[in-house]
């Protein structure tokens, strides 16, 4: 007890000395906070990868306005609408041209491993640019040829040998359904949670790969405007002219639509948010147990401080000092482990997992709140530090 009082004269924070007094308890607390931070980091990372992977293609669309079905859910789950709506849109002042995209998923056979896997197939008009993808736009003449596709080299799976063959100009063929297709070129976007990769080809080749699809039923419409027209005004004119079986969005509005659909209606988004909340709760419980035990084991010392005239604010400050130290000691290893886990997961899944500085700051703040909330609850035990009861 006297040794603890003497520490008031030292420069070392009393909260740190309290924590170091029981190193096993300190290690347990750091491990618990680190685990909670890793859980939060991974859930936030997976959620961000979900949002990014599901909006990769909407973000690179080359169009002023986008036409979709009101029943559309995401880029990979678009509902079809009548192609004549695009022809009707061309009669609206300001519309320079329209193009159709056909989108669907198929099982294709990996040319390297011969295993079947899910691939997103996009069929575009080879006469005009549909995506901000220079590798694709330079090969539009190539995809005009029958049964020619371009392959996303960032797809999930074993494709190193196949990619090397394509880069060397060798012929690579595989099967999609009953058709044999040739991989004639490469581009890079990335996999998604729904599909392992993507293929881009012409609209005619798409219809060959999907023989049951009607050419008059398109997945997404690209509308290009004359430069002097305002997209919002043309959008309003199109919404007034076209029936309610289509929805008109600006390019930015379509990206927001995709994000809102995932965040609000997707069960995966809810699961990731729930996981983040569970990680926070786990951290609160662990830190509270540690701080509460620490307060109980030092009630006599705290009562002595009060008998010496120290106010409750000082004692509360010691507890919050411990909470702050624990948050820092637990966050740093959690950040390091999460960075390694991001790299391993990105390499294994081809998902866009990265650690932006903003996320690290957010998790650090959450860790402060987590430990601070635990400390606030634990300080209730200080009410029992009454010198009259102890002595």
The DSSP secondary-structure symbol of 109 reads: E
Over the stretch 252-284, which tens digit does the pLDDT of each residue have? 999 988 888 777 766 777 787 788 888 888 888
- Domain presence at residue 82: yes
Distance CA 163, CA 143 (A): 17
B/e letters for 266-276, b = 16+ CB within 10 Å, e = fewer, are: beebeebeebb
Residues 168 and 301 in one domain: no
If asked whether residues 36 and 78 sit together in one domain, one would say no
Cα dist. 386→3, 28, 346 in Å? 20, 29, 55
Cα of first residue to Cα of last residue in the chain, in angstroms, is 13
317 in the same domain as 234? no
Nearest to 379 by CA among 315, 289, 283, 310: 315
Does residue 327 fall inside a structural domain? yes
| Number of domains composing the chain | 2
Separation CA 262–CA 74 (nearest Å): 8
Task: Based on the fold, state whether residues 273 and 359 are members of the same structural domain.
Answer: yes
384 and 322 co-located in one domain: yes
Residue of higher predicted confidence among 193 and 157: 157
Model confidence band, residue 7 (pLDDT cutoffs 50, 70, 90): very low
Residue where a domain stops, chosen among 230, 245, 260: 245
Domain co-membership, 226 together with 332: no
Q: Are residues 132 and 190 in the same domain?
A: yes
Decide if 225 contacts 234 (C-beta within 8 A): yes
The average confidence (pLDDT) of the chain is 85
At residue 25 the predicted structure's pLDDT band, cuts being 50, 70 and 90, is: confident
Quick one: 77 and 176 in the same domain?
yes
Distances (CA, A) of 383 to 83, 306, 379: 73, 11, 8
Q: Domain end: 245, 279, 304, which one?
A: 245
Cα–Cα distance, 388 to 382 (Å, whole number): 14
- Low-confidence winner among 46-50, 185-189, 200-204, 297-301 (lowest mean pLDDT): 297-301
* 262 within a domain of the structure (yes/no): no
Q: Is residue 64 part of a domain?
A: no
Residues 222 and 152 in one domain: yes
Identify the weakest region by mean pLDDT among 20-34, 100-114, 321-335: 20-34
The answer to whether residue 61 sits within a structural domain is no
Give the number of other CB atoms < 10 A from CB of residue 250: 18
Residues 101 and 169 in one domain: yes
Q: What is the C-alpha separation between 100 and 94, in angstroms, rounded?
A: 18
- Spatial distance between the Cα atoms of 282 and 288, rounded to a whole number of angstroms: 10
What's the sign of the alpha-carbon dihedral 50, 51, 52, 57?
Answer: positive
- C-alpha 265/C-alpha 243 separation (Å) is 25
Show the domain range for 375. Answer: 2-53+268-390
Query: Tens digits of per-residue pLDDT, 368-387?
Result: 888 888 777 777 766 655 55
225 shares its domain with 93? yes
Per-residue model confidence as pLDDT tens digits over 164-205: 999 998 889 999 988 999 999 999 998 887 788 899 999 999
- pTM for the full predicted model: 0.76
- Would you give the DSSP letter of residue 131? B
Domain boundary at 212, 245, 278, which? 245
Q: Is residue 111 part of a domain?
A: yes
Is residue 251 one of the residues assigned to a domain? no
Indicate whether 159 belongs to any domain: yes
Q: For residues 9 and 94, state if they share a domain.
A: no
The partner residues of 120 in beta bridges, in order of sequence, read 105, 198
pLDDT tens readout for residues 70-118: 988 878 788 899 999 999 999 999 999 999 999 999 999 999 888 888 9
């Amino acid at each position: 007890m006297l040794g603890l009082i003497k520490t008031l004269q030292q420069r070392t924070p009393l909260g740190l000395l309290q924590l170091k007094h029981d190193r096993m308890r300190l290690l347990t607390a750091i491990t618990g906070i680190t685990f909670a931070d890793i859980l939060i980091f991974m859930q936030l990372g997976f959620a961000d990868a979900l949002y990014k992977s599901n909006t990769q293609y909407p973000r690179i669309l080359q169009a002023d306005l986008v036409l979709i079905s009101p029943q559309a859910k995401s880029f990979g789950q678009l509902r079809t609408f009548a192609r004549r709506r695009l022809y009707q849109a061309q009669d609206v002042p300001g519309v320079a041209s329209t193009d159709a995209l056909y989108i669907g998923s198929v099982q294709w056979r990996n040319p390297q491993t011969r295993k079947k896997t899910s691939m997103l197939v996009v069929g575009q008009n080879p006469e005009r640019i549909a995506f901000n993808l220079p590798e694709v736009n330079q090969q539009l003449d190539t995809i005009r040829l029958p049964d020619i596709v371009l392959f996303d080299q960032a797809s999930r799976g074993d494709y190193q040998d196949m990619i090397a063959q394509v880069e060397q100009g060798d012929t690579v063929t595989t099967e999609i359904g009953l058709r044999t297709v040739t991989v004639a070129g490469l581009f890079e976007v990335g996999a998604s949670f729904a599909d392992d990769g993507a293929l881009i080809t012409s609209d005619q080749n798409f219809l060959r790969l999907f023989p049951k699809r009607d050419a008059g039923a398109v997945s997404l419409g690209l509308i290009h405007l004359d430069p002097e027209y305002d997209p919002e005004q043309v959008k309003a004119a199109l919404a007034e002219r076209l029936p309610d079986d289509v929805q008109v969005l600006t390019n930015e509005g379509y990206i927001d639509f995709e994000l809102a659909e995932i965040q609000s209606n997707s069960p995966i988004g809810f699961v990731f948010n729930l996981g983040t909340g569970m990680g926070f709760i786990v951290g609160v419980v662990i830190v509270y147990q540690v701080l509460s035990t620490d307060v109980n084991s030092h009630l006599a010392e705290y009562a002595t401080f009060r008998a010496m005239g120290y106010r409750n604010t000082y004692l509360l400050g010691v507890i919050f000092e411990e909470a702050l130290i624990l948050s820092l000691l637990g966050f740093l290893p959690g950040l390091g482990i999460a960075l390694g886990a991001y790299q391993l997961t990105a390499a294994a899944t081809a998902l866009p997992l990265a650690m932006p500085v903003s996320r690290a700051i957010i998790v650090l703040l959450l860790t402060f709140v987590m430990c601070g909330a635990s400390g606030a609850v634990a300080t209730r035990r200080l009410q029992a530090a009454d010198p009259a009861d102890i002595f």
